[in-house]
Amino acid sequence: MLSLQITALIDKELKKYPADQRQSAVMAALRFVQDEKGWIASADMADVAAYLGMPQMAVYEVATFYHMYNLKPMGKHTLTVCTNLSCQLCGSGDTLEHLNKRLGIGLGEVTPDGKYGLREGECMGACVDAPLLTINNKKMCGRLTGEKIDRILAELDKQ
């Protein structure tokens, strides 16, 4: 079941669209689910579909099409590292290597304690700060070095 907070948020979103086109809010609805649960389970997609009155399959199509929706648990903090050209030239490889070593996980994996997940991301549109990573698709950290990553992780550890 969708929580009351989520339905309230979806209702707010629905006001932006004509009443007979509720499915316009599907992307926002999925985002709300992911913000609350960290990932989107099939059951959640079915709930979103029921709430918006659209086919479950259509929600699934949207959820799988976009890269930033997590279709499996990706830990409390999902770190997404950009691996596109600009970041690669500025050393995203080192970033990944450092994270691999620190967290003991590879791309697409989650630490055993469920705290961190590591993903590969596409260009985040801030190449000036390359190499980049985002935390839960919300907070962007740029000009990464080994020390800076350690600092970010230390801060996240506290949360």
CA atoms of 125 and 24, how far apart (whole Å): 25
Among 4, 18, 19, 65, binds other proteins (CB under 8 A): 65
143: left (phi over 0), alpha (psi -120 to 50) or beta: left
**What tokens does 54 get?**
């659209």
E-only strand ranges, the chain = 77-82, 116-121, 133-135, 139-141
154 binds other proteins (CB under 8 A): no
Query: Which 109-138 positions form the footprint of other proteins (CB under 8 A)?
Result: none
Q: How many residues bind other proteins (CB under 8 A)?
A: 12
Identify which range of 49-57, 90-98, 126-134, 137-145 contacts other proteins by CB under 8 A: 49-57
56 binds other proteins (CB under 8 A): yes
Binding site for other proteins (CB under 8 A): 42, 45-46, 55-58, 60-61, 64-65, 67
